[in-house]
Structure 1
Amino acid sequence: MKFALFTKLALLTSATGVLGTTVAYDRAYDDRSTPLTSVACSDGPHGLIVRGYTTFGDLPNFPFIGGAEAVEGYDSANCGSCWNITYTNPAGRNKTITMLAVDGTTRGFVLGVRAADILTGGQAVHLGRVNATAKRVAVSVCRL
């Protein structure tokens, strides 16, 4: 039964390209001077340093950066992936932001407070972790 449910969910996700997920915040992603050497997507062949960036603030879409579950660890092939993340507030209004994966996380996505506040209408700290949907988009959307 669990396998059948997982299979149906996987098929739905792959067919629509939209993934149900969660989003939390970590203030560490708000500091523009943080060196990229502090995250999983630093200096390997898939890293962001080899693309010419050295700090969070150097990234063209800062502060819309953070951790993504798709980044399995150091030098993941998913480093630098770009995601549209949509949050639906209690009034039923959607807000979508585009974030660049610079690090890994064990669950969903983790953004800086600034980006999470924009996503949640200034409620990131109050809400903590929220349910959202995510869709991987072309890296050009993140201006890489």
Structure 2
Amino acid sequence: MRFATVLAVPATILGAASAATTVPVTYEPKYDNGNFSLLGTACSDGQNGLVTKHYDTAGSLPSFPNVGGAFTVSGWNSSDCGSCYQLTWQNNSIYITAIDVTQQGFNIALAAMNNLTGNLAVQLGRVSASYDPADGSKCGF
């Protein structure tokens, strides 16, 4: 009689490769303008707003041009305004500061998407990237 040997493998090891969540990433050229007023974004004023924290334009943010809309920002004055995220596409990672709302994934500056895709943003238009929340220091805060 043969008995199969069953190895107990922790779930964290089995799930490690599939733990990352992928989301669509697109670009929006208005976020490339360093003079773009944050008053025109969901993260403008209010207690959680970036203008309230003395960041008036996209270019005044320490992570500029790595800025854009994030699906985690629920709307005006969201507690996720100014959050930092690591986006990874094909083993290349960048850090993005959330300054606006978007319906799905991330809608970031063209320069940021070029940083992520090796200057293929316009050619690709949209990519699926993994994301992780990151410490604010990664975005310069």
Taking structure 1 as the reference length, the TM-score comes to 0.83
One-letter code aligned to 2:95: T
C-alpha distance in 2 between matches for 1:54 and 1:132: 29
> What is the match of residue 125 of structure 2?
128
One-letter code aligned to 1:107: Q
Q: CA deviation digits over 1:28-60, x for unaligned, max 9?
A: 110000111011001010010111111111001
Out of 97, 105, 112, the position equivalent to 1:100 is 97
> What is the match of residue 88 of structure 2?
86
C-alpha distance in 1 between matches for 2:70 and 2:21: 12
More helix by share: 1
C-alpha distance in 1 between matches for 2:106 and 2:21: 11
C-alpha distance in 2 between matches for 1:63 and 1:126: 19
Which runs of 5 or more residues in structure 1 are unaligned?
1-11, 89-93
C-alpha distance in 2 between matches for 1:132 and 1:72: 20
> What is the match of residue 62 of structure 2?
60
Q: SS at the partner of 1:116?
A: helix
Which runs of 5 or more residues in structure 2 are unaligned?
1-14
Taking structure 2 as the reference length, the TM-score comes to 0.85
C-alpha distance in 2 between matches for 1:19 and 1:105: 17
Say which one has the larger Rg. 2
Over the matched positions of the two proteins, sequence identity in percent amounts to 40
Q: SS at the partner of 1:78?
A: coil
One-letter code aligned to 1:104: V
Out of 37, 44, 48, the position equivalent to 2:39 is 37
Query: How many residues matched?
Result: 126
Q: 1:19 Cα deviation (Å)? A: 2.1
CA RMSD between the two structures? 1.6
One-letter code aligned to 2:40: S
